[in-house]
Structure 1
Amino acid sequence: MIKFFRKIRQNLFMQNKTGKYFKYAIGEIVLVVIGILIALQVNYLNEQRKENNFEIEILKQIQINLQTDLIEIREDLEVIDFVNKACVDVKNHILNLDQPSDSLSISAAILRATPHFSPITSGYNLLQNRSVGIIKNDSLRDAIIYQYDMLYPYYKTYEEERGRFHALHSEPQLIEYFSMNYNVNQPLSFRGLFFEISKEDYQRLREDLKFLKLLKAITFENSLIQSRGKRVEKNTLDLINKINVELNSK
């Protein structure tokens, strides 16, 4: 093709048709420029298509991660409900019954439960490695960043504080009075946890007013976790829905 155009130029030049030669040369330049612009536009559209596909892939991965996180958050909140109920059951047992029972052993074992939320961040990590700007929806991008950089770490801080409280206060008290057992095949257990207490230790427990204060403190710590956990649950569900709306618009 280049040889073809060159031959035409040479013929025009040899025929001393200078005006037509220059017009043709200019036209050829224009055609080259148009060709370059078309190639750049095609390349730009291809890059845009790749970015759009990558954005969709990232959003789907983050959505899957959030759905798994939501399940774990709700499971953790359920465990905290069990612990709060166990606090009431243990307190009532201590105040009203003279002898230990299987229900006390199960409820005491539930007090040992310390849920730990570990969000899945594979999708968000992939987004950070590429560029958060790949998410074109500003409000959605801000919501994703807030979820992973603010909300999750803040909730994790509360869980860590609860974990320290348990290690410093709950665990020593439970060890003092109860013998801890773990057996997934034990029918009278909470997820394999079953605590035993002797009659002598139970009588000591009934006289220990600090243990009743401990039960109240556990409930208080749980209320803080639940408040944050429900907020995280709501935000996670909202973000899943926002991503779903964005994917449906693609």
Structure 2
Amino acid sequence: MIKFFRRIRQNLLSEGKTGKYFKYAIGEIVLVVIGILIALQVNDLNEQRKENNFEVDILKEIRSNLQTDLVEIREDLELMDFINKACLDVKDHLLNLEQPTDSLSISAAILRVTPHFSPITSGYNLLQNRSVGIIKNDSLRDAILYQYDMLYPYYKTYEDERGRFHALHSEPQLLEYFSMNYDSDQPLSFEGLFFEISKEDYQRLRNDSKFLKLLKAIAFENSATQSRGQRVEKSTIELIDKIDLELNSK
């Protein structure tokens, strides 16, 4: 093609058609510029397509992570329901029953449980490594940042506070009166965990007014964490819905 254009220019010069030569040369330059602009536009379109595909892939990964998180947070919230009920059951035992029962062993074991939420962040990490600006929808981008930079870390502070309370207060009191056991085949257990208490220790426990206060404090710490966990659940559901809407618009 280049040789073809060069031959035309040479013929025009040899024929003395200087004016036509310059017109042709200018036209050739224009064609080259147009070709470059078209090539740049095609390249931009290709880059935009790649960026859009990458955005979709990231949103799908984040959505998958959030679905896993939702399952885990709901399991934790269910465990916290068990803990609240166990506080009431143990209190009822101590106030109304003269002897320990299997139900007390299970309820006391549940007080040992401290649910821990560990979100999956592979999609969000991928987004941070590339650029949060890859998410074109401003509202959706802000919602994702809030979920991972604000909501999840704040919920963890509640879990950490509950964990410290358990280590400093609940665990020592439970160990003072109960013997901890684990047997996955034990039918009278909470997921294999069950506590045993002698009749003598049970009578001491019934006379320990501080333990009733401890039960109230455990319920308080648990309920505070559960309330925050419910906010995480709600936000996770809403964010999944927002991502679905964005993906359906692509």
Q: Which TM-score band applies after superposition, normalised by the shorter structure?
A: over 0.9
- 1:122-161 deviation digits (Å, cap 9, x = unpaired): 0000010011111000110010011000000000010000
Unpaired runs of at least 5, structure 1: none
Q: 3-state SS of the aligned residue for 2:107?
A: helix
Letter in 1 for 2:60: K
* C-alpha displacement of 1:223: 1.5
- d(CA) in 1 for partners of 2:107, 2:197: 12
Letter in 2 for 1:47: E
**TM-score of the aligned structures, taking structure 1 as reference length:** 0.99
Query: What is residue 143 of structure 1 aligned with on the other side?
Result: 143
Q: 3-state SS of the aligned residue for 1:9?
A: helix
Q: Does 1:181 align with 2:190?
A: no
Q: 3-state SS of the aligned residue for 2:52?
A: helix
Letter in 2 for 1:80: M
* C-alpha displacement of 1:70: 0.5
- 1:71-97 deviation digits (Å, cap 9, x = unpaired): 111111110000000000000000000
Letter in 2 for 1:189: S
Q: 3-state SS of the aligned residue for 2:112?
A: coil
Query: What is residue 193 of structure 1 aligned with on the other side?
Result: 193
Query: What is residue 128 of structure 1 aligned with on the other side?
Result: 128
Aligned residue pairs, count: 250
Unpaired runs of at least 5, structure 2: none
- d(CA) in 1 for partners of 2:90, 2:224: 21
- d(CA) in 2 for partners of 1:129, 1:149: 15
- d(CA) in 2 for partners of 1:7, 1:158: 80
Query: What is residue 39 of structure 1 aligned with on the other side?
Result: 39
* C-alpha displacement of 1:186: 0.6
Query: What is residue 106 of structure 2 aligned with on the other side?
Result: 106
Q: 3-state SS of the aligned residue for 1:99?
A: coil
Query: What is residue 158 of structure 1 aligned with on the other side?
Result: 158
Letter in 2 for 1:183: D
Could you tell me the percent identity over the aligned residues? 84
- d(CA) in 2 for partners of 1:38, 1:183: 72
* C-alpha displacement of 1:13: 1.1
Q: 3-state SS of the aligned residue for 1:98?
A: coil
